[in-house]
Amino acid sequence: MICVVASITVKEGKREEFLEIFNANVPKVRDEQGCVEYFPAVDVESGIGVQKLDQQVVTVMEKWQNLEALNRHLESAHMLEYRERVKDLVEGVSLKVLQQA
């Protein structure tokens, strides 16, 4: 099992527009062979002191059966189209690809 945590920093005032485009693509991703879980998440105030809130970050939580499925996902037509649609809304991306230790 491969887990991915992608932190996408969107331009100020563009989070809702970004999420609309992202969420329209989610069903296509979930239909991909090897996709176990895929969803966007945003910060929520928890009252936990060490939490760092950032309203410009959308965190994408993903689980894939294996690296091959993840790599196919990254090259899929709908992901290429998605990246083109959001490129002017995104300031930067940080990616963690993980496996259980």
Q: Put the strands of the sheet holding 90-99 in their side by side order.
A: 35-42, 57-64, 2-10, 90-99
pLDDT on residue 30: 98
8 A C-beta contact, residue 63 and residue 1? yes
Token pair 């059966």 is found at 65
pLDDT on residue 49: 87
Give me 48's structure tokens.
């936990």
- For the chain, the domain total comes to 1
Range of the domain at 13: 2-45+54-99
8 A C-beta contact, residue 62 and residue 3? yes
- What residue ranges of the chain have pLDDT lower than 70? none
Q: Which amino acid is at 65?
A: Q
- Assign residue 31 the CATH number of its domain: 3.30.70.100
pLDDT on residue 20: 98
pLDDT on residue 78: 97
By CB neighbour count within 10 A (0-12 exposed, 13-18 middle, 19+ buried), where does 74 fall?
exposed
